[in-house]
Amino acid sequence: MRLLPALLKDAIRTLLRAVVRRPATVRYPEEKIEVPKGFRGQHMIELDKCVGCGLCARDCPSGAIVLVKEPGYSRGLGVPVVDLSKCIFCFQCAESCPKGAISPTQQLAPVASDPHDLVLDFRVVSVSHVGGGGQARQAGGQA
């Protein structure tokens, strides 16, 4: 019979602790969290370094990269376009790139209800301005 008061005491202590503590979660995406150093977020692809060799796409374990032909600054097989809805953020693509054109940023992947909005397409950024993290845009047959 001593068990019940002990359990009750424990439950009340747990409840009080939960009330006093700060929540473990944040209201993302309205609230941003500070990411740790070395965090692998959204990709940056420097198109001026890219030679369009396609190694990033070949080695991507989840098939998240396709190379798209782009008149103007497309080289080799084309410009790498990343589908963040497939990406597992392993950054094998960065390891495989012989030109060091891919690197992770501290930027969290965007939130979207439509997976097409998670296509990271650097073709919308002129080569001289590449470096700001690119932007996702509707794939809609463009990638």
Could you tell me whether strands 43-45 and 102-104 are parallel, antiparallel, or unpaired per DSSP bridges?
antiparallel
Provide, rounded to whole angstroms, the least separation between the CB of residue 93 and ligand SF4: 3
Residue 73 binds to ligand SF4 (criterion: CB under 6 A): no
Alpha-carbon span 87 to 122, nearest angstrom:
16
Q: Which region, judged by CB under 6 A, interacts with ligand SF4, from 12-20, 24-32, 85-93, 130-138?
A: 85-93
Residue 120 binds to ligand SF4 (criterion: CB under 6 A): no
Residue 143 binds to ligand SF4 (criterion: CB under 6 A): no
Provide, rounded to whole angstroms, the least separation between the CB of residue 68 and ligand SF4: 11
Residue 119 binds to ligand SF4 (criterion: CB under 6 A): no
For the chain, the straight-line distance linking the first and the last C-alpha, in angstroms and rounded, comes to 68
Spatial contact of 46 and 101, defined as CB atoms under 8 Å apart? yes
Spatial contact of 42 and 133, defined as CB atoms under 8 Å apart? yes
Size of the site for ligand SF4 (CB under 6 A): 27
Per the document, the length of the chain is 143
Provide, rounded to whole angstroms, the least separation between the CB of residue 51 and ligand SF4: 5
Alpha-carbon span 5 to 49, nearest angstrom:
68
| Residues at the site binding ligand SF4, with contacts judged by CB under 6 A | 45, 50-56, 60-62, 64-65, 80, 82, 87-93, 96-97, 99, 101-102
